[in-house]
Each structure stands twice: as C-alpha cells, then as structure tokens.
Amino acid sequence: MTYGPALLLLGFSIAWTGGLMAWPRAGFPVAVLYSPAMSGAEAFAGVVNAGADTILGIGALPGIVVARSDDPGFTENLFKTGAWMVVRAPAKGECLQ
C-alpha cells in the first residue's frame, strides 16, 4: 500500500494553512521586507506611499518596516512599491530588535 498521495495532500494542506495564517489582513500590523540594498529611508517611504496609517517601527536590518493600515488593498500596494515579502508582524515585535 502506498501513502504517497495522502502524504502529498497532507503536506499541501499544512503549507496552505500556514500561508493563510501568515497572510496579512487589514488593520493588523505587518512586517514588510524590501531589498537589503534599499536604505531604511527608502523602505520607510515605500510603506508611507503604500498608504500606511501607522508606522510601528523600523527593523534591525535595512529594508524592514513594521506598519499598520485599515486599507484592504494595503498589502497589494506594498508589493507595488517594491516589497519582497509582507507577513503578519510578530506579536512582540521581534523583527524590530
């Protein structure tokens, strides 16, 4: 008996659930990662131009900004400004230290 298809489905389900949990929602803080070659000021400007309501902090590395917006299109706007990745921010701000 082969369990290949069942294991494949299980792996896909776990990955899909993790992706949904990490996908940011409007009104919640998000951690935004821009290119490491981008300065902190450029990353900050990108988040502001995307429509951030609040900047919660700048990351320990250049190109990381934590922000919040009630705009449902905020995540898409961040990608339009050059963000590489946008995820829900950790609850205690570990990415800021």
Q: How many domains does the chain have?
A: 1
CB 27 within 8 A of CB 70: yes
- 12 lies in some domain: no
pLDDT of residue 59: 84
- In total, the chain counts a number of residues equal to 97
Q: Which domain holds residue 90?
A: 25-96
d(CA 12, CA 30): 25
d(CA 33, CA 40): 11
- 67 lies in some domain: yes
pLDDT digits (tens, 9 = 90+) for 1-36: 587 777 777 776 776 666 555 567 678 899 999 998
Nearest Cα to 73, choosing from 97, 57, 93, 53?
A: 53
- 9 lies in some domain: no
pLDDT of residue 17: 66
Q: Is the pLDDT of residue 56 over 70?
A: yes
d(CA 52, CA 73): 11
- 11 lies in some domain: no
Q: Is the pLDDT of residue 70 over 80?
A: yes
- 72 lies in some domain: yes
- 71 lies in some domain: yes
pLDDT digits (tens, 9 = 90+) for 34-51: 998 998 899 999 999 999
- 54 lies in some domain: yes
The residue written with tokens 């919640």 in the block is 28
Would you call 23 helix, strand, or coil by DSSP?
coil
- 29 lies in some domain: yes
